[in-house]
Amino acid sequence: MHNMLKNFYLTSTLISFLGAVELEKYDASKIADVFYQLSGDTNNPHKKINHTKGFCALGEFIPNPKATKRFDIPLLRENSIPTQARFSLGGGNPNESDKSKARGLALKIQGAKDSFETVMLNTEINFAKDPDEFGTYFALRVPKNGKVDTEKLAYYTENVHSFKQHAEYMKNLGITPSVANTTYYSIHTFYVKEGEKWIPARWKFVPTQGEKTLSEAELKTLGENFLEQDFKTKIAKKPITYTMLLVLANPNDITDQTTALWSGKHTEIPLGTLKINTFDGTSCNQDVFMPNILPQGISEPKDPLFDVRNAVYGITFGRRQ
């Protein structure tokens, strides 16, 4: 065997035996650079660099009075809160197929005195527990001399625990025919005020119409662009609604890792209903939704990704003006 190759395999074996792959360091600006290397378009410097394909909608968030009594979140004392929504697909391709699995929902819930932005995905966990893993995940997908190093990508996917776990999770995730059949998750664990205590919790927006996924045969009958039309057809008849459930952490749940799956039974508290009733085209596509715009009574996660995540959104928003 060629010496360099032999060394690579010996080192790889040793690293996988030790259970760790040494990753490059990433901060917010280096992560933003990787997004631009992967999906930047000199012909379209103003495009949103991740979750590029998406459409906008309007509606309201109607708090659940029972939860309002239990938790000290003044925003939820309003009866109906105007809300802007953006439904998106992961990745920087403006023509991404709707058959892609990664879906996003970003909300601006704008009360009279306070506001709440939440930016969610259709998965309970993500693929990176810290900025180094996050940057590496995308860097591995950047072509060098026109080609992605598929061997290296496969090696990292196998040997970085977060990547492997996420790849397995995604294999089991179906493709939904409609945003009205998709659950969206906060992934991060936030802290919610109850009396004098701050309680760790995640949230999810569960569709009233239920979750649904497409069979192989159904998938074949669909083109690459069905989500927007399906949305328009549905809301012409009645609003699309979701229940926002607060999922309280159990004592043994890991609360400072976005890659931690919470298993078993959890107390789930309906905080309110999101009611989407108007298609709003591409009006919000150039906006940024900031996960750290939180109302009084909800405080920031303690995981190592959240601050960097917000910093990157700020950088890419600035860079695409």
Question: Minimum distance between the CB of residue 78 and ligand HEM, rounded to whole angstroms?
Answer: 24
Q: Which residues bind ligand HEM (CB under 6 A)?
A: 31, 35, 48-51, 54, 86, 88, 104, 106, 119-121, 126, 131, 134, 187, 258, 288-289, 305, 308-309, 312-313, 316-317
Q: Give whichever of 70 and 319 is closer to ligand HEM, judged by the CB atom.
A: 319
| Separation of alpha carbons 29 and 158, rounded Å | 27
Q: Give whichever of 78 and 126 is closer to ligand HEM, judged by the CB atom.
A: 126
CB of 68 within 8 A of CB of 75? no
Question: Minimum distance between the CB of residue 221 and ligand HEM, rounded to whole angstroms?
Answer: 27
- Which amino acid is present at 318? G
Q: Give whichever of 54 and 297 is closer to ligand HEM, judged by the CB atom.
A: 54
Question: Minimum distance between the CB of residue 286 and ligand HEM, rounded to whole angstroms?
Answer: 8
Question: Minimum distance between the CB of residue 307 and ligand HEM, rounded to whole angstroms?
Answer: 9
What residue spans of the chain are helical by DSSP H?
3-18, 28-39, 65-70, 131-139, 150-159, 161-171, 216-221, 227-237, 306-319
Q: Give whichever of 169 and 317 is closer to ligand HEM, judged by the CB atom.
A: 317
Strand 268-279 vs strand 240-248: parallel, antiparallel, or unpaired? antiparallel
Question: Which residues, 6 or more positions from 149, have their beta carbon under 8 angstroms from its beta carbon?
Answer: 140
Q: What is the DSSP letter of 147?
A: B
| Separation of alpha carbons 7 and 306, rounded Å | 37
| Separation of alpha carbons 136 and 31, rounded Å | 9
Per the listing, tokens 């490059």 go with 24
- Which amino acid is present at 268? E
Q: Give whichever of 188 and 234 is closer to ligand HEM, judged by the CB atom.
A: 188
Q: Give whichever of 257 and 316 is closer to ligand HEM, judged by the CB atom.
A: 316
Q: Give whichever of 49 and 139 is closer to ligand HEM, judged by the CB atom.
A: 49
| Separation of alpha carbons 19 and 108, rounded Å | 41
| Separation of alpha carbons 321 and 314, rounded Å | 11
Q: Which residues pair with 115 in a beta bridge?
A: 110
Q: Give whichever of 46 and 152 is closer to ligand HEM, judged by the CB atom.
A: 46
Structure tokens at 34: 């990787």
Question: Minimum distance between the CB of residue 296 and ligand HEM, rounded to whole angstroms?
Answer: 22
Nearest residue to the partner ligand HEM, using Cβ:
104
In what helix (H) or strand (E) does residue 55 lie, and over which residues does it extend?
strand 54-63
Question: Minimum distance between the CB of residue 295 and ligand HEM, rounded to whole angstroms?
Answer: 18
| Separation of alpha carbons 292 and 92, rounded Å | 22
Question: Minimum distance between the CB of residue 27 and ligand HEM, rounded to whole angstroms?
Answer: 10
Question: Minimum distance between the CB of residue 309 and ligand HEM, rounded to whole angstroms?
Answer: 4
Per the listing, tokens 């600006």 go with 29
| Separation of alpha carbons 319 and 321, rounded Å | 6
